[in-house]
Amino acid sequence: MPAKILVSYDGTDNDVDALALGRVFGQAGGELGLAYVRHNRESEERQEEIAQSEAEELLAGGAKWVGLPDAPCHVVLSGSTHEGLLALAREHSYNIIVFGSAYRTTPGHVQPGVSCERLLESRPSGISVGVAPAGLRVRAEVVISVAAYVDGEGDPSAQETAASLAEKLESKLLERATQAPDLLVVGSRTGAPIGMVDLSGAARYLIETVRCPVLIVGRNSPVIF
């Protein structure tokens, strides 16, 4: 399946970081969309119209920031951000959901926020997860010169995904993070069901130590750009 990327966007700085990472995936040939999750419907009709309009304007601003004013923008009504995003991704055949790091993450570091963590804990099937480091938005241009990968044992999904990205972005490809990469693709743990995103403890530790965007792919589920 060709890469379709859904960026979780609420207008905060860290979600602008997510847009910056989404733009990188778009430059690699992926199709980009934006989503904002509203948690409650307003009781008054006029207030509901205003809330919906504000959400649509927020997404339109994000689409303009990323340079794709015509990108699909989705307003989702769900009590849970990660559940709303997951349902939307499946409905529209997105195979990557991108998040920014948690609020107050040290610039350059990767720390999944609450909604991203809940999505990872749910072990989604068929949906890869991207996480942008804090502050990615401030770079004038995000250049991926080196892409690295860490596969699960017996599963080349991370390698195949990283190779696809490296080819499109004209990047050097490395096995494991043997030098500071500009992008890291991480596979799911050995023994996970096919398609499931399920991180090992070692993979989680690695994500916390790198200083670059991360893409986590499901078991035996490479993403081809």
Per-residue pLDDT tens digits for 17-43: 999 999 999 999 999 999 999 999 888
Q: How many CA atoms lie within 13 A of 192 on its CB side?
A: 27
Three-state secondary structure call for residue 84: helix
Q: Is the pLDDT of residue 152 over 90?
A: no
Residues 6+ apart with CB under 8 A from 189: 152, 198, 199, 200, 203, 219
The pair of structure tokens assigned to 160 is 């195949």
Per-residue pLDDT tens digits for 86-112: 999 999 999 999 999 999 999 999 999
Is residue 185 within 8 Å of residue 161, measured between CB atoms? Answer: yes
Percent of the chain predicted with pLDDT > 90: 90
Is residue 100 within 8 Å of residue 214, measured between CB atoms? Answer: no
Q: pTM for this one?
A: 0.95
Largest CA distance in the chain: 57
Can you tell me the distance from the alpha carbon of 142 to that of 214, in angstroms, rounded to the nearest whole number?
14
The confidence score (pLDDT) of residue 178 equals 64
The pair of structure tokens assigned to 98 is 């991108």
